[in-house]
Structure 1
Amino acid sequence: MVLFLLVVIVAIALGIVGIVVEGMLYLLAIGVLLLIADVVYLTLRSVRSRRPVS
């Protein structure tokens, strides 16, 4: 969970820098892609951890 929060913070920081600094929109794109990848990772991890109760 700490890794998830760290990656979210990095993605937000990259997005802010990409918006604020002129000519660095690629950082915004990297931040968005990183955020999407992190959410997908968390979703897959939570789906795999569910186990049916017998």
Structure 2
Amino acid sequence: MRLLLLDVDYARSGLWREEAQRWVDEQLRREGEWAFRGLVAGIMLLSAGIVAVAALLW
């Protein structure tokens, strides 16, 4: 239904594909950033746990 609302030249030109690809790329970039942040947070928590255990066993 949305495609019917678009200009015919716009739909034929493929510009909508480029915009859709940019949107997908942006979503993947954001997901990658969150995955990286999660990895860094996990490493920090693991390091803090190791330090805490080492301090308790000292």
The TM-score range, normalised by the shorter chain, is 0.5 to 0.7
How many residue pairs are counted as aligned between the two chains? 33
User: Percentage identity across aligned positions?
Assistant: 3
4+ residue runs over 3 A deviation: none
Structure with the greater relative contact order (CA < 8 A, sep ≥ 6): 1 or 2? Answer: 1
Higher helix share: 2
**Partner of residue 39, structure 1:** 29
Residue deviations 1:6-53 (CA, integer Å, cap 9, x gap): xxxxxxxxxxxxxxxx61100000010011001001100110112212
Q: Does 1:24 align with 2:14?
A: yes
Larger radius of gyration: 2
5+ unaligned residues in a row in structure 2: which ranges? 1-11, 49-58
The alignment's TM-score, normalised by the length of structure 1, stands at 0.54
